[in-house]
Structure 1
């Protein structure tokens, strides 16, 4: 029997005791009440110890739960920091990659412009060379035509009869 049951038994004994007329008192078997109270006294320290042990056990469980919660929170904060750090690294890498791509595109455009300028200059020089060559060829052909005409003229003079020398 536990302490609460003992207390209930004592209360039932007092309630069932014979009342004294004209008084609030009652007749109770003294020895029976003393025995019940002694049993209660003997049980109460063990019940109190058991309750104290339960409270200590409860505190240990609460402390363990708090430590576990703190550990989980700390791990969560570390994971959050790691993810933020990884995110920052990724964002930084993306910015760097974008910068490098932009620089590469600018460099490629600069090189295209330089090549275009070089090719244009080379073609202009080649055009001048060809123009000079064509002019030289044209002059040579003109001279050849001129010489041919002179040669044809000379040939036609040779075909004419020679004039007789005149005396004076």
Structure 2
């Protein structure tokens, strides 16, 4: 081992001597010209005299490179496998998402359909109730109109009876005048006075009755107008 080491140092010294004694290259910044064959022989000699441990170290370096290459290949394989598994997981997640969305859409459509049906049912019932209320209002209106018409007919009948009574009283008066004329018991002035008084009485009674009848008719028309509102 010592001899090998000594030979290595000796070869290194010779190599250093060759470089130191080499001729400089002008304007090259420190470059020199060395004999190629001599330097190559010294390097071969140096390589041949390297200890076994150095060769083993070189083998280990080569093995390390190979191991690194294998590790790189394994890493790439695992990366590809991981990528494939990731794509599978992502695909499964997407399918699950689509299923969930489909279920949610179906549930939404069902809820909308039920809500629409309930709204239509409520609308139908509301229309039916509104029709019933309107029918009841029409019946009440017709009843009130009939009652008002009956009252109007009764008022008109009473007015007609009063009118006939007044006419009858007038006829009685006329008969009395005729009899007075026939008998000649009263003077022309008394006849004129009586005639004037009777005319005023009849006119007053007719005016009062006309006012009463007019007020009653206004009340009837007001009641009918209220029913129309």
User: How high is the TM-score relative to the length of structure 2?
Assistant: 0.47
- Whether 1:161 and 2:161 are equivalent positions in the alignment is no
Deviations 1:22-80 (A, max 9, x none): xxxxxxxxxxxxxxxxx8xx9xx999877765554443222111111111112111211
2:99 corresponds to which residue?
Answer: 88
- Among 106, 109, 116, the residue aligned to 2:127: 116
What is the Cα-based RMSD across aligned positions, in Å? Answer: 2.7
Measure how far apart 1:144 and its partner are.
Answer: 1.0
Matches within 5 A, 1:4-153: 55-153=66-164
Q: Secondary structure at the match of 2:104?
A: helix
Q: How many equivalent residue pairs?
A: 123
Q: Higher relative contact order by CA 8 Å / sep ≥ 6: 1 or 2?
A: 2
Measure how far apart 1:152 and its partner are.
Answer: 0.9
C-alpha distance in 1 between matches for 2:166 and 2:85? 117
Deviations 1:79-136 (A, max 9, x none): 1122122212211111111111111111111111011001100000000001111111
Q: Secondary structure at the match of 1:158?
A: helix
Q: Choose 1 or 2 for highest CA Rg.
A: 2
User: How high is the TM-score relative to the length of structure 1?
Assistant: 0.62
Unpaired segments ≥5 residues, structure 1:
1-38
C-alpha distance in 2 between matches for 1:161 and 1:47? 166
C-alpha distance in 2 between matches for 1:157 and 1:51? 155
